[in-house]
Amino acid sequence: MAPNMTVEDLLSSRGVPLRVSVEEARVAVAAALMNSSPSIERVALDNALGRVLAEDILSPHSLPPFANSAMDGYAFRHTDLAAASEPLLQCVGESRAGQRYNGRLAVGQCVRISTGAVMPADADTVVIQEDTQRSQDQVRLQQIPAAGANVRKAGEECAAGAQLLSRGRGLGARGLALAATAGRDELRVLARPRVAILTTGDELALPGQALGPGQIYDSNSALLHALVIDAGAYPLPATQATADDPQRLLHALRRAAAAADLVLTTGGASVGDHDHLPSLLAEHGSVHFWKVRMKPGMPALFGELAGKPVLALPGNPVSVFATFQVLVRAALSALQGLAPVDPLRWRARLLVPLRKTHKRAEFLRGIHNIDSQGQLWVRPLSGQESHRSVALLQASVLLCLPEAEIDLAAGALVDVEPLFARPESEVRL
Ligand code: AMP
Ligand code: MG
């Protein structure tokens, strides 16, 4: 690099986009990492929580597979009672769950039946036990149910061969239960991207160690480790935070790149004298973009080293969180061959006025409330600086403000991203 030339000048002279919008950054990350043939592996059903299905799951039989009772009671033929002078049936046997009644029913006969038991061939209706009085084999109906009542018909949920779950579905408890309903004990899922987490900074000590003067604990490792798992990826065991030293950083980056599908770093990505990541990547790898028009998270950089993608995130924990939501999740989706999923956003009314004079997209930590009318309200937390991890914990939503300057009155509508709702999403492959 020529003397007096900043890394920014150098990257700019190479045509590297600087200060990109959030959307441009997301598109660039997805485009660079979109994997058209992601690896697929088989996992046991019990280990598939949080994984993404790599196959369609079809039902091997109709659901329900046979007509069965929805209640505990007595199964009978409805027309028998229409012809009878009294609502009286004779109980001739039992159909219990897993053990059907194989006999026939003559006119005026019924069988004791439990929930989930196969309906006898001649019966079409179940009277619930609470609406009957039994004496020996005589069953008197106190209420006569409608014809067909309390019976779950074969195939009423789906036919044999119907698709229950599709490729690309993130697997939560409900999806796993449906796969089990289809008799599957093993599933084909996308391999989880391996993510190296490299925290950097001379001031960092690991939790559990004694703090020296001017030191703070490395909380980004714990934050990213958990977020990576939450995003369905595999965090490689984090090592000691790396010092703000170019040689050591380069060495650590190379090791991380050799082991991972994606390298995440925190700290040292800005323009300070001890921020070495931009120049290291510019010199030994490549930079796709540097700086994103977002607050917090501006210094984020996306590049490559030793053929592996590197997302260099800022050091402040709140910036790490915001850039993870916006950029890292997009990167992890693309590495699995998944189209980017738009973050879940709801519209909420501001409880207080809000003014923003800068021209970056902003992600404020907020607390939501739903009033008795069902209206969603949001209040930005005080203490929005990006080192405030306590306010980050308190937040139940991220308020997502667009780039434009805004001057909003209380009651105005804003976008919020819930931090508490994790739907079992279906994503496009
Ligand atoms: P930097 O991006 O290196 O300028 O760091 C910005 C701020 O984030 C500084 O106050 C750092 O001390 C802090 N910071 C950097 N890395 C971490 C980390 N791993 N855990 C907690 N705070 C950090
Ligand atoms: Mg630093």
Give the chain's domains with CATH numbers.
7-39+191-335 (3.40.980.10), 40-62+157-190 (3.90.105.10), 68-152 (2.170.190.11), 346-418 (2.40.340.10)
Rounded CA separation 202/265 (Å) = 14
Residue nearest (by alpha carbon) to ligand 1 atom 18: 218
* End-to-end alpha carbon distance in the chain: 42
Cα(387) to centroid(ligand 1), Å:
8
pLDDT at 425: 61
Report the alpha-carbon distance of residue 277 to residue 169 in Å, rounded: 36
Report the nearest-CA residue for atom 15 of ligand 1: 315
pLDDT in tens, 346-375: 999 999 999 999 999 999 999 999 999 999
CB of 257 within 8 A of CB of 310? yes
Q: Is it the case that residue 294 has pLDDT exceeding 60?
A: yes
Rounded to an integer, what distance in angstroms lies between the CA atom of residue 337 and that of residue 54?
Answer: 10
Element (H, E) at 420: none
CB 139 within 8 A of CB 89: yes
Cβ 285 under 6 angstroms from ligand 1: no
- Is 204 touching ligand 1 by the criterion CB < 6 Å? yes
Q: Which of 148, 188, 194, 153 is nearest to 168 (CA)?
A: 188
Q: For the purposes of burial, counting CB atoms within 10 Å of the CB of 213, is it exposed (0-12), middle (13-18) or buried (19 or more)?
A: exposed
Give the pLDDT confidence score for residue 4 in this predicted structure.
Answer: 81
Alpha helices in 195-301 (DSSP H): 220-230, 246-259, 277-284
Residues 315-341 have a mean pLDDT of: 94
Q: What are 183-226's pLDDT values in tens digits?
A: 999 999 999 999 999 999 999 999 999 999 999 999 999 999 99
Q: How confident is the model at residue 384 (pLDDT cuts 50, 70, 90)?
A: confident
pLDDT bracket for residue 420 (50, 70, 90): confident
Instruction: Look up the pTM and report it.
Output: 0.91
Query: Does residue 274 line the site of ligand 1, with CB under 6 A?
Result: no
DSSP state of 326: I
Six-digit token string for 127 = 């009277």
CA torsion, points 125, 128, 134, 138, in degrees to nearest 10?
Answer: 0
Q: Which atom of ligand 1 is nearest to the CA of 319?
A: 8
> Ligand 1: distance of its center to the CA of 296 in Å?
13
How many A from CA of 61 to the centre of ligand 2?
59
Q: Name the band, by pLDDT with cuts 50, 70 and 90, for residue 239.
A: confident
Are 29 and 334 contacting, i.e. CB atoms less than 8 angstroms apart?
Answer: yes
Q: Does 172 score more than 60 pLDDT?
A: yes
Testing ligand 1's pocket by substitution, the residue of 209, 220, 249, 264 carrying the most ligand atoms inside 8 A of its CB is 220
Note the pLDDT of residue 82: 86
The rounded Å distance from CA 298 to ligand 1 centre is 14
CA of 329 to the centre of ligand 1 (A): 21
* Ligand 1 pocket member 345 (CB < 6 A): no
Determine the distance separating the centroid of ligand 1 and the alpha carbon of 29, expressed in angstroms.
24
Q: Report in angstroms the alpha-carbon separations of 399 from 349, 402, 422.
A: 11, 10, 17
Q: Which ligand is nearest to the CA of 314?
A: 1
Helix (H) or strand (E) holding 311: strand 308-313
> What Cα–Cα distance (Å) separates residue 184 from each residue in 40, 68, 100, 179, 188?
17, 23, 25, 6, 10
